[in-house]
A and B are shown apart, each in its own frame.
Chain A
Amino acid sequence: MDNNAIINTTDNSNWRELKSKLFLGIVILLSCITISPILLILYELISKGIKQINPDFFFKVAPDTLQAMTAVRNGEILPGGIANGISGTLLMVALAALIAIPVSIVIGIFLYENQGKKYANLIRTLTDILQGVPSVVLGLISYIWIVQGVTKGFSALAGSVALAIMMLPLIIRSTEETMKMLPISIKEAAAALGVPYHKIILKVMIPSGFSGLMTGILLSISRVIGETAPLMLTTLGSTAINLNIKKPTSAVPLQIWEFYNNPNMIDLVWSSSLFLLGFVLTLNIIAKRISLRYN
């Protein structure tokens, strides 16, 4: 823009200062625009949802319509909570993690060990495709495999399988990336001590990359914990706490959907959403902490 800038530095110093101030201003403005949605969301959820957050919210199951109607008519806060959803979400996410973590770590290490090989590239591509599959489709798959094929009815297991399939590509890629970041020299050090291959992986590589693996796992959990569509197709929901993986189970996002459809329970939509967001944010912060501490 200003071809003479190099020569006329002194003359242009005011203009330069102005320019850099202008630039700073734009950066600040843009970052405000970027973070304002999250702040607005937080504001909305807290202002509308906080009054429902009390011990009952965590330890009682959702009210029935009559209870909710009575409370609304009397201007009281809604009784009960989302214990059935929280327990269902924790159950299904834990089960999904149990299924997804070992499989994905093995595949991720396989990809890392076979850089550039044809079948590894094929698997990597398939992994990327899997990541792009809409979650509702994964719900359908799990419906056919598990709901129809295994549990003969809606079940927590079916929900977990759908969530686990979603977690696979995320953990696979983060495992491969984590392994790639580890210096090859520690692998050599172990090999030079005569340590057999599988022990190098188990006792040296995985512990050395532990924080990277952990971060990937936590982020994948926070990705799937709010999924609603696949759960509608697989676990249906439940008004009671259910910890039987062969039975229909509630989940926090499913409850949000149910509350949304019930005019008397709107307040619980906000508090449940606040809970879910808080949970996801916490997972993200823990993940960030872990990866920072390692580096």
Chain B
Amino acid sequence: MIAYGKDKSAVRDVTADIKRNAITAIMGPSGCGKSTLLRAINRMHELYPNIRTEGEIELNGESIYKMSTTKLRRKIGMVFQRPNPFPTMSIYENVIAGYDLNGSKLKKDQKDAIVESSLHDVGLFDEVKDSLNKKGNFLSGGQQQRLCIARALAFKPEVILMDEPTSALDPLSTAKIEDLLVELKNQYTIILVTHNMSQAARISDNAMFMYLGELVEYDKTKKMFTNPSDSRTEGYLTGKFG
């Protein structure tokens, strides 16, 4: 259960096992608690004042509340709705920011290797290799979002949380990011919030449908789209509401 201040709970009764090396989509109408649930997974919801939480989330059987947020967020990275590279930093510095800002002392060649492989993983390296020391603001929205994914990948996290990562992007950039996610799931576990049903259908392996703060249905994406077991899921997928 997660509640903001004195309000009634924004998310309740969610029990789910997230599969490793798969894309799990969280769908549901706006305001149903998708972002709140997602943020709870790496405790980003704790940034809000007066938040109340009950329940348990485990990563490989270990309670996330027993880890420091620093350690937890190294293992569970996050990508946001709008690309948010650090405006004062170069592309290179952005990718390595997780290390630099936490005060890790890495040698130059270690950093270089991390930056290069992270940018390779998001298919951005060839596009930016000549401007690594420039600020990222000349990049397109899609490139900036891939830069942000690279920044999250730099830690080699186990899980990547993504909150509608393509909703601010054009269709072409969206398609590129979707392809990227499908590739990344071989190495990472991805939890993807989307209110775009066709996106969930295209790239996710499993899907959750949330409604009014509750997890209504959680199943294989194929099964959910062809034969949903809850009438509310069916109603949402057929466009009756949402």
Task: Tell me the A residues contacting B by CB distance below 8 Å.
Answer: 183, 185-196, 199-200, 203-204, 207-208, 210
| A193 x B101 contact (CB < 8 A) | yes
Q: How far, in whole Å, are A187 and B78 apart by their CA atoms in the complex? A: 13
Count, chain B residues at interface, CB 8 A: 27
User: Which 5 pairs from chain A and chain B are nearest by CB?
Assistant: A194-B73, A194-B70, A185-B84, A192-B78, A193-B98
For the residues of A in contact with B, the DSSP-based class is helix
Q: Please give the distance in Å from B75's CB to the nearest CB on chain A.
A: 9
- Residues of A close to B98: CB separation below 8 A: 193-195
- Residues of B close to A187: CB separation below 8 A: 47
Return the contact of B151 from the options A191, A193, A199, A204 (Cβ within 8 A): A193
| A194 x B80 contact (CB < 8 A) | no
CB-based nearest A residue for B101: A195
CB-based nearest B residue for A113: B49
- Residues of B close to A188: CB separation below 8 A: 44, 47, 80, 84
- Residues of B close to A190: CB separation below 8 A: 86, 97, 101
Q: How far, in whole Å, are A210 and B88 apart by their CA atoms in the complex? A: 9
CB-based nearest A residue for B81: A185
| A204 x B86 contact (CB < 8 A) | yes
| A208 x B87 contact (CB < 8 A) | yes
B124 on the interface (CB 8 Å rule)?
Answer: no
Q: Which of B98-153 contact A (CB under 8 A)?
A: 98, 101-103, 148, 151-152
A199 with B102, Cβ < 8 A, contacts A193-B97, A193-B151 known? yes
B77 on the interface (CB 8 Å rule)?
Answer: yes
A189 with B47, Cβ < 8 A, contacts A194-B72, A194-B74 known? no
CB-based nearest B residue for A192: B78
Q: Please give the distance in Å from A190's CB to the nearest CB on chain B.
A: 6
Task: Tell me the B residues contacting A by CB distance below 8 Å.
Answer: 42, 44, 47, 69-74, 77-78, 80, 82, 84-88, 97-98, 101-103, 148, 151-152, 155
Q: How far, in whole Å, are A204 and B73 apart by their CA atoms in the complex? A: 17
| B86 x A208 contact (CB < 8 A) | yes
Q: How far, in whole Å, are A191 and B152 apart by their CA atoms in the complex? A: 12
- Residues of A close to B74: CB separation below 8 A: 194
Pull 13 A–B residue pairs with CB atoms less than 8 Å apart, ordered by A: A187-B47, A188-B44, A188-B80, A188-B84, A189-B151, A191-B73, A192-B44, A192-B73, A194-B74, A200-B101, A204-B86, A204-B101, A208-B88
| B86 x A186 contact (CB < 8 A) | yes
A186 with B87, Cβ < 8 A, contacts A192-B73, A194-B98, A195-B101 known? yes
Q: How far, in whole Å, are A200 and B103 apart by their CA atoms in the complex? A: 12
CB-based nearest A residue for B97: A193
Q: How far, in whole Å, are A186 and B86 apart by their CA atoms in the complex? A: 6
Q: Please give the distance in Å from B232's CB to the nearest CB on chain A.
A: 31
Chain B CB within 10 A, most for which of A191, A193, A196, A207: A193
Q: Please give the distance in Å from B159's CB to the nearest CB on chain A.
A: 12
Q: How far, in whole Å, are A204 and B89 apart by their CA atoms in the complex? A: 9
Chain A CB within 10 A, most for which of B47, B101, B151: B101
| B88 x A189 contact (CB < 8 A) | no
Q: How far, in whole Å, are A191 and B102 apart by their CA atoms in the complex? A: 10
| B80 x A189 contact (CB < 8 A) | yes
Besides the contacts A192-B80, A193-B98, A193-B102, what 11 more A-B pairs have beta carbons closer than 8 Å? A187-B47, A188-B84, A190-B97, A190-B101, A191-B44, A192-B77, A193-B77, A194-B74, A195-B102, A199-B102, A204-B101
| B73 x A185 contact (CB < 8 A) | no
- Residues of A close to B80: CB separation below 8 A: 185, 188-189, 192
| A193 x B47 contact (CB < 8 A) | no
Q: Please give the distance in Å from B227's CB to the nearest CB on chain A.
A: 36
- Residues of B close to A189: CB separation below 8 A: 80, 84-86, 148, 151
A183 with B84, Cβ < 8 A, contacts A193-B97, A194-B71 known? yes
A192 with B42, Cβ < 8 A, contacts A183-B84, A199-B103 known? yes
CB-based nearest B residue for A114: B49
Chain A CB within 10 A, most for which of B80, B102, B103: B102
Q: How far, in whole Å, are A200 and B86 apart by their CA atoms in the complex? A: 11
- Residues of A close to B88: CB separation below 8 A: 207-208, 210
- Residues of B close to A194: CB separation below 8 A: 69-74, 98, 102
Q: Please give the distance in Å from B68's CB to the nearest CB on chain A.
A: 8
Q: How far, in whole Å, are A59 and B78 apart by their CA atoms in the complex? A: 59
